[in-house]
């Protein structure tokens, strides 16, 4: 695993060409990915062509940070002429006729797209076990999950099968797999990155974000993909600054909130110890640690699943077997065709979310469930505002545990859902957060910590994560 910053120097000093670098990654994918299943589609031909074009830019002195850099893209982000399946039978053969805005931006700077990465079906899950194409395995221990839903993206970076990746984060789906796979993942502020071309799960929560070796790399990718997009009504109209512009700044005087609820019951002792050890690093660097509280945390997972499932039920209603995607061969009437298509095309987890969402929105239950979840959302936003009135950022664990065994929670969905407790509030409030490795447990599995920032405060949290990474001894996966 090598940082984009280091690869950039190698490309610019002609130690390696973009063509050679791309081929090296493609060769490693053929050799290693059979063990972890991080890719659904590998684009050898188009990647080789993109590498040649990138090398021309390098030779002409027109290279930018991502020119010639091999990147993977999560398979719920549309790519022109390349299958975009959402890891579902429903879209197994779907080929978009356009690029998502983020993909357009990658191509515009000469990045090389290696392929589309595996994920939980329609991004619904926290382990990448719900994929129609089989689960993604953790590069640190292939008997364990990679996290989800961007498990393939995180695993592809961790295993050295790309230099960086794009994932999507609805309730922690960039940060949690980054934590499990020992890499860095950034969930930007809602609206900072266009969602045009991202196949929707929960529109008010979804956000595309980068996964890479380091916070510096994540900032470099974000510099490319962020910005206003007229095709996305939720895109923020803001002047874009360099997201890595504060790297190297002094941390002295920074106030970091430590919310007690994130270190309570359910958080494994080794995780708690590693994150608090990271807090000590910040204290020694001159930061002030502030004890803060988020009382609504105990309701956050319930609110998240009600809101996200309600939005998913609406978004996924378009998959009816008529317009595009899988179509059942059974059914003599329109109603039977739609029913059979959805029953056969969707996996069990997706069906569960659709049922929950429709139930929460149904007459007689809307106020009891969806409306109350919306009230909790408002309260969580208020509690974050209260914390940020006295702090610059917040430090929490990324997940309550390290990566668990494949199939371990298969018959206990409640325990699986509760694993999102440390991440969902950030999506509910629309805030930025970055996860980076802060330790390893007794079995050598990575432990992640999250730094949560104020809205559009990506530069500050990237700088804080970078300062920690520069003194942390990272242990890479060995496959």
CA–CA distance, 266 with 278 (Å, rounded to integer): 20
- Within 204-254, where are the H helices? 215-225
| 136: nearest Cα among 244, 5, 37 | 37
Are the CB atoms for 106 and 66 separated by under 8 Å? yes
CA–CA distance, 217 with 225 (Å, rounded to integer): 13
| 306: nearest Cα among 205, 213, 190, 182 | 205
CA–CA distance, 284 with 469 (Å, rounded to integer): 15
- Token pair in block for residue 325: 């995607």
Return the DSSP state at 263: G
| 164: nearest Cα among 50, 39, 66, 20 | 66
Q: To which residue do tokens 């690093």 refer?
A: 281
CA–CA distance, 270 with 280 (Å, rounded to integer): 15
Residue 429 CA: distances (Å) to CA of 184, 294, 304, 383, 399: 21, 13, 11, 10, 18
Tell me whether residue 367 is exposed, middle or buried, using C-beta atoms within 10 angstroms of its C-beta: 0 to 12, 13 to 18, 19 or more.
exposed
Are the CB atoms for 91 and 170 separated by under 8 Å? no
CA–CA distance, 33 with 477 (Å, rounded to integer): 13
Return the DSSP state at 142: E
Please tell me whether the peptide bond between 452 and the residue prior to it is cis, using omega within 30 degrees of 0.
no
Q: Residue 342, SS3?
A: helix
CA–CA distance, 429 with 304 (Å, rounded to integer): 11
| Residue 312 backbone phi and psi in degrees, to 5 | -65, -40
First-residue to last-residue Cα distance in the chain: 12
Angle at 105 between CA 99 and CA 109, to 5 degrees: 130
Q: Which residues are catalytic?
A: 74, 149, 173
């Amino acid at each position: 695993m090598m940082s984009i910053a280091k690869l950039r120097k190698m490309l610019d000093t002609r130690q390696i060409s973009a063509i050679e670098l791309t081929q090296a990654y493609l060769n490693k994918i053929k050799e290693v990915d059979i063990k972890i299943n991080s890719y659904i589609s590998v684009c050898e031909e188009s990647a080789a062509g993109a590498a040649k074009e990138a090398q021309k830019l390098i030779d002409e002195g027109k290279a930018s940070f991502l020119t010639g850099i091999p990147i993977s893209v999560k398979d719920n982000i549309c790519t022109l002429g390349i299958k975009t399946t959402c890891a579902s039978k429903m879209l197994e053969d779907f080929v978009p006729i356009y690029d998502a805005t983020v993909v357009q931006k990658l191509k515009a700077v000469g990045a090389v797209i290696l392929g589309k990465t595996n994920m939980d079906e329609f991004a619904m899950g926290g382990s990448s076990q719900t994929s129609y194409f089989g689960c993604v395995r953790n590069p640190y221990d292939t008997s364990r999950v990679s996290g989800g839903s961007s498990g393939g993206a995180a695993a592809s970076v961790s295993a050295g099968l790309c230099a960086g990746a794009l994932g999507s984060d609805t309730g922690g789906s960039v940060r949690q797999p980054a934590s499990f796979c020992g890499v860095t993942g950034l969930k930007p502020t809602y609206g900072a990155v266009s969602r045009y071309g991202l196949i929707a799960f929960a529109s008010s929560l979804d956000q595309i974000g980068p996964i890479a070796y380091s916070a510096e790399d994540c900032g470099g990718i974000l510099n490319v993909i962020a910005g206003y997009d007229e095709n996305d009504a939720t895109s923020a109209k803001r002047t874009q600054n360099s997201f890595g512009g504060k790297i190297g700044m002094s941390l002295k005087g920074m106030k970091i909130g430590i919310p007690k609820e994130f270190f309570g019951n359910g958080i494994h002792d080794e995780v708690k110890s590693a994150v608090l050890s990271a807090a000590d690093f910040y204290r020694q660097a001159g930061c002030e640690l502030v004890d803060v509280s988020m009382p609504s945390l105990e309701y956050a997972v319930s609110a998240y699943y009600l809101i996200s499932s309600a939005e998913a039920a609406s978004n996924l209603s378009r998959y009816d077997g008529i317009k595009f995607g899988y179509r059942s061969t059974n059914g003599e009437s329109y109603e039977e065709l739609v029913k059979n298509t959805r029953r056969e095309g969707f996996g069990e987890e997706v069906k569960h979310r659709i049922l929950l969402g429709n139930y929460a929105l149904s007459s007689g239950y809307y106020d009891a469930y969806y409306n109350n979840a919306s009230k909790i959302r408002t309260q969580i936003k208020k509690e974050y505002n209260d914390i940020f009135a006295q702090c610059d950022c917040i430090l929490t664990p990324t997940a309550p545990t390290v990566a668990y065994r494949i199939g371990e929670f298969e018959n206990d969905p409640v325990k699986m859902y509760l694993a999102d407790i440390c991440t969902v509030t950030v999506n509910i409030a629309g805030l930025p957060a970055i996860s980076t490795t802060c330790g390893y447990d007794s079995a050598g599995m990575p432990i992640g910590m999250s730094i949560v920032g104020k809205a559009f405060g990506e530069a500050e949290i990237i700088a804080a994560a970078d300062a920690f990474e520069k003194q942390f001894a990272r242990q890479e996966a060995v496959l």
